Amino acid sequence: MRISEIYEKKSKTLSFEIFPPKKDRELENIDETLSVLCELKPDFISVTFGAGGSSNCNRTIELAKKIKYEYNVEPVVHLTCLSYDRAEIDEFSRVLNAEGIQNVLALRGDRNPNIEEKDDFKHASDLIAYLKAKNRFCIAGACYPECHPESENRVTEMMHLRGKVNAGAELLLSQLFFDNDCFFRFVEDCRIAGIFVPVIPGIMPVINAAQIKRMVTMCGASFPARFQKIIDRYEDNKDALFDAGMSYALSQIIDLLTSDIDGIHLYTMNNPTVARKICEGIRNVI
Ligand code: FAD
């Protein structure tokens, strides 16, 4: 099923993001995680894509197939384009079509000095337009409530985001953030800019301080004071950080759900306990 159809039918969705294991043999152990995640009945699960290298995309597709055919949940395959040419994207699309995978999150990908960039696709919108012209995928794009780190300002960022939607993105999945007001302002700006597709907030519960700091240095999300206090007080106390981080994420999600948003996309970090606890906390509100 195309996930755009899910958004047409449901007022609020719940979805998860997972990443493929680094080694092929670990793919066999992912069932433990998947069985818990899929029991929670997400509307879809998106599978990340490593930057560059065919073994990366193979593992992403293998995992997406598993989700679709063994667990009967709709997968969304992430696909980056900076280090691929048209022929490689065509081959990737061919495999997706052959496997019956209908949903793609089309991304530019981060710049990496160790991976060669090719000339065919400079921006995610180039990939979206290309995929759209040749396939029947439902295409999602990424968005950044606190601006992409390379953006000059919010106005040009919005123009480029509108370009992505005009090229064919049917929904937008957001970068993680910890301040809901940023997200609400961002959605308002999207609507003012004429972007009317669903904008789904990405939430990542904090369970590991080192990991979250790394993520935030990379993606530029700001820490509200209430959240910073949790990090400062509990970063050296694993169990306390888990409890406080889960509680913060839950309160963020409930605030989003009580506002007029289209769904929640949970960055699970392949941790089924986190996903289960979040789902238990919102069972009666979503
Ligand atoms: P773009 O939309 O191309 O934007 C990148 C920058 O270029 C922005 O500053 C934008 O304003 C600017 N820009 C866009 N269009 C134009 C234009 N026409 N002219 C000039 N400037 C322009 N990375 C991975 O490697 N694998 C993953 O699986 C992955 N999953 C992700 C999932 C989500 C939900 C998100 C939010 C990000 C994900 N990323 C992933 C990270 C993503 O690849 C990076 O953030 C990357 O730097 C930008 O990708 P993009 O698709 O947003 O790029």
**Domain range holding 187?**
3-281
> Could you list the pLDDT tens digit for every one of the 286 residues in the chain?
999 999 999 989 999 999 998 877 777 779 999 999 999 999 999 999 986 655 567 899 999 999 999 999 999 999 999 999 999 999 999 999 999 999 999 999 999 899 999 999 999 999 999 999 999 999 999 999 999 999 999 999 999 999 999 999 999 999 999 999 999 999 999 999 999 999 999 999 988 877 666 766 777 788 899 998 998 899 899 999 999 999 999 999 999 999 989 999 999 999 999 999 999 999 888 8
pLDDT of residue 55: 57
- Bridge-based pairing of strands 138-143 and 44-47 is unpaired
**Measuring from each residue's beta carbon to the nearest atom of ligand 1, which residues come in under 6 Å?**
48-49, 51, 78, 80, 107-110, 123-125, 142, 148, 150-151, 157, 160, 163-164, 173, 175, 202
Asked if residue 241 belongs to a domain, the reply is yes
CB 132 within 8 A of CB 167: yes
Residue 13 to residues 78, 86, 134, 147, 179, Cα–Cα distance (Å): 19, 33, 28, 24, 20
Asked if residue 61 belongs to a domain, the reply is yes
Handedness of CA 210, 272, 78, 168 (dihedral sign): negative
pLDDT of residue 30: 92
pLDDT of residue 51: 66
CB 137 within 8 A of CB 103: yes
Residue 237 to residues 113, 246, 273, Cα–Cα distance (Å): 36, 14, 18
3-state secondary structure of 200: strand
Q: 147: CA distance to ligand 1 center in Å?
A: 10
Token reading at 277: 């606890």
pLDDT of residue 217: 73
CB 187 within 8 A of CB 261: yes
Nearest ligand 1 atom to the CA of 51 is 25
Q: 122: CA distance to ligand 1 center in Å?
A: 10
pLDDT of residue 208: 85
Token reading at 66: 């598993």
Q: Length of the chain in residues, anyone? A: 286
Question: What total number of domains does the chain contain?
Answer: 1
Nearest ligand 1 atom to the CA of 157 is 11
Asked if residue 65 belongs to a domain, the reply is yes
Asked if residue 286 belongs to a domain, the reply is no
Q: 280: CA distance to ligand 1 center in Å?
A: 32
CATH number for the domain including 27?
Answer: 3.20.20.220
Kindly report the pTM of this predicted structure. 0.96
Asked if residue 252 belongs to a domain, the reply is yes
In the block, residue with structure tokens 């065509």: 90
pLDDT of residue 141: 98
Asked if residue 259 belongs to a domain, the reply is yes
Other beta carbons less than 10 A from residue 156's beta carbon: 11
Asked if residue 173 belongs to a domain, the reply is yes
